[in-house]
Structures are given as C-alpha cells and as structure tokens.
Amino acid sequence: MNRMITDEKARINTTALLSTTIMDAVSFLGTPEWDEEYIKFLLRVNEEVRRQIIFSMSMFNRQASSSSDLTSGGGEPTVVPQFWIYWAVSLPLTVAIVIGRRVWWHFQKSYHETKLLRSEKEDEIHLLLTVELVIRKAQLQAAIVTVYPPALQHQQLLDTHTLNMTSISAEMRNRRWTRDSYLISTDASLISVAQLNAAFASEAVYWTKAIPEPILKEMLQNSLCFGLYDTTTSQQEPSTSSGSGTAQENAAESEEYHRLVGFARLVTDFISFTYVTDVWVDPTMQGNGLGRWLVGCVQETLEPMPYLRKSILATDSWDKSVPFYEKMMKMSVIGGQPGGQAIMQMKGKGAPGYTEKTT
C-alpha cells in the first residue's frame, strides 16, 4: 500500500515539474513562429518524456524500497530527491528541442530570403536583356530604311529582326517607269501570256520556244518580270482563267492588255542572287532606245539591293551583247570564248571585296 502511494506521489510531482520546466525553457529562449503541426509534435515529446521519467522513477523507488525492507526489516521506503533528477533530464531535452526548432526556422527564413533575392536579380537581368533587344530592333529598322530604295522606306516591315521577304518581293513586283507613251512595269499580271508566247515562238527569241500557257503563267509568277508596253494600243484577250463555256461567255470574261513590245526576266531569291534572261524587244520597235531603257530599269532595280552577291547572264552575241551588258549593267565576262556562249557577271553590294564600278 505504501508503495502505491509513493508511486502516485512521484507521478503527480513529476507531471507538475515537467510542465513548469518546459514552459520556463520556452519562455527563456523565446518562441519563433511555430506552425500547428510542430506544437503538436512538441506536446507529444513532452508527454513521452514525462511518461518515461515517471516509469523510471517508479521502478527506482521500488528497488530502493525493496532494498530498505531487506536491510532494515521494514519502515518507510527511501525516496530519491526527485526534483533534481527531473530537472536534469527534462530541461536539457526541452532546450535542445526548442533550439533545434529555432535553428531550423532561421535556416528556412534565410533560404527563402536568398531565393527571393535571386529571383529579383533574374528579373532585373531579364529586363535589361529585353531593353537591349528593343534597342537592337530599332537600330536594325533604321538600317533597313537607310539601305533600301525610298519606296521601301514607307513599307512597314512586320518583323524588324529579320528582313520580311513578303514585303521586299511585293515592293519589287510593283515598280513602274514611264516614257512618252511607253510603260515598263514589274507587275506580272499586266503581261499578256498569249503575246509573250507569240514572242517566244518567233525567230527573234532564238534561245527558247513557245510554252503551254498554264506553265508559262506559273513561270512568270515565280520570276521578277519587266514588261515593256505600248499604251497607245491594246486588245481584248480571253481571260486565262476561262476556256470552258460558250464563245459569248468567254468574250464576257476577256481582259484588255496593252501591246507587249519588250520583256526581261530575273530568276531571283530577291535578296542575294539574280539570273538575267529572256531579254527581248520587238524588232519593229528597235532603234528607239527602248532596249537600253528596259535594261537600265533592270539595273536600277538590282544596284540598290544591299545583300546581292552576284547577277549573271549568258549570251551568244560576243560582238553586240557583251559590250552592251558591260556598259549598261557593269558586267564582266567570267567564262566562255568568242564563237561560243559568254558567261557574264556583276558583283553586288553583298559580295566580299565589293567595289563600285563606274560606267
């Protein structure tokens, strides 16, 4: 009976002492911003420590009591001074838990502050790169406006980081020159496919022959064409999109074309290369300077191209064509021999070591 009373007193004293000791330690060290889960964890640790100490001290008191009974033959059991044992065990453990949590809290705080600082630095670098990219785009836009013909300066390029192929080709396909009653245009839709095919079938254009009209039309669409027209005469021709139906329906869909009296074609990527071919002037119109004017308009289109590396052509006429193209297009013979075909070339502004020639 005395042993049971002693055990109960030890349990009550230990519980009160542990609760007071833990609260004193927490108050002494200061409480960080603990979350609910950690508070529950701390209470579980406190309860487990309390239970283990009570159990250990109960066993110790029983052993001491038994030893006293055996040696003295009876009497009150020997009680160990429990206060100092409880304090020595519970306080260091509680302090260690609180300090560990405090260190962990400071570590997390430092980690998040470092992460936030790094994120701010990355945002600052991204902003600087964006500003630099905008400045470079503006500089490239200014360079494009400077090097291209005046007509291109009013063309809004959709992408200033790279040259807009659609805008450049569209601009080059929409140029025109006039002299007296004659017109030169790079608009391929003005060319009468039937009239051009008739010229290809003539002896004057000895290097080719007539081509089926649908194929010829596709060839014109894939090239930069220069049509020379006599605007004083025109004729009605069936639309190239028609061909089926009655004669009256086809006549209603006919189109009016000016008389085609000259032609030249460039096979080109509109940036770095051109091949000059199919230069022709109606023999009945020769001797009026129309051929020089036509080739001059071709040259006027080629010379301003800032990235043109070379323009080439081939001709069989050494005595007439070679001197003509040397003068009009600043061409030089790079291959062939008299009596055969001459290969001629003009270097553009995009060629390495380019130097401008004077006529």
Q: Would you say residue 46 has pLDDT above 70?
A: no
Assessment of whether the complete model's pTM goes beyond 0.85: no
Segments making up each domain of the chain, as ranges: 2-119, 175-230+258-308
Distances (CA, A) of 319 to 104, 115, 116: 95, 79, 79
Band of residue 152 on the pLDDT scale cut at 50, 70, 90:
very low
Of 105-119, 245-259, 288-302, give the lowest mean pLDDT range: 245-259
Per-residue pLDDT band for 251 (boundaries 50, 70, 90) equals: very low
Residue 96 clears pLDDT 70, i.e. is over it: yes
Class of domain 175-230+258-308: alpha beta
**Who has greater pLDDT, 77 or 269?**
269
| Across 26-30, 45-49, 79-83, 171-175, least confident range | 26-30
Residue 29 has a pLDDT of 44
Find the range with the poorest average confidence among 111-120, 131-140, 141-150, 311-320.
Answer: 141-150
Q: What percent of the chain has pLDDT over 70?
A: 59
pLDDT of residue 216: 96
Quick one: pLDDT at residue 229?
A: 97
pLDDT confidence tier of residue 160, bands split at 50, 70 and 90: very low
**How confident is the prediction for the chain on average, in pLDDT?**
76
The reported pLDDT for the residue numbered 271 is: 93
pLDDT value at 176 more than 70: yes
Better-predicted residue by pLDDT, 185 or 157: 185
Task: Work out the pLDDT band at 123, boundaries 50, 70, 90.
Answer: confident
- Residue 11 pLDDT > 50: yes
Q: Give the separation between CA 193 and CA 326, rounded to whole angstroms.
A: 31
Q: Please, which pLDDT band fits residue 26 given cuts at 50, 70 and 90?
A: very low
Mean pLDDT computed over 42-55: 66
Give the model's confidence band at 207: pLDDT under 50 very low, under 70 low, under 90 confident, else very high.
very high
Pairing of strands 342-347, 273-281: unpaired
Q: What is the pLDDT of residues 286-310, one digit of tens each?
A: 999 999 999 999 999 999 999 999 9
Checking if the pLDDT of 158 tops 90, the result is no
Q: How confident is the model at residue 162 (pLDDT cuts 50, 70, 90)?
A: very low
Task: State the pLDDT at residue 12.
Answer: 53
- List all residues 6 or more positions away from 320 whose beta carbon is below 8 Å from its beta carbon: none
Of the two residues 294 and 64, the one the predictor is more confident about is 294
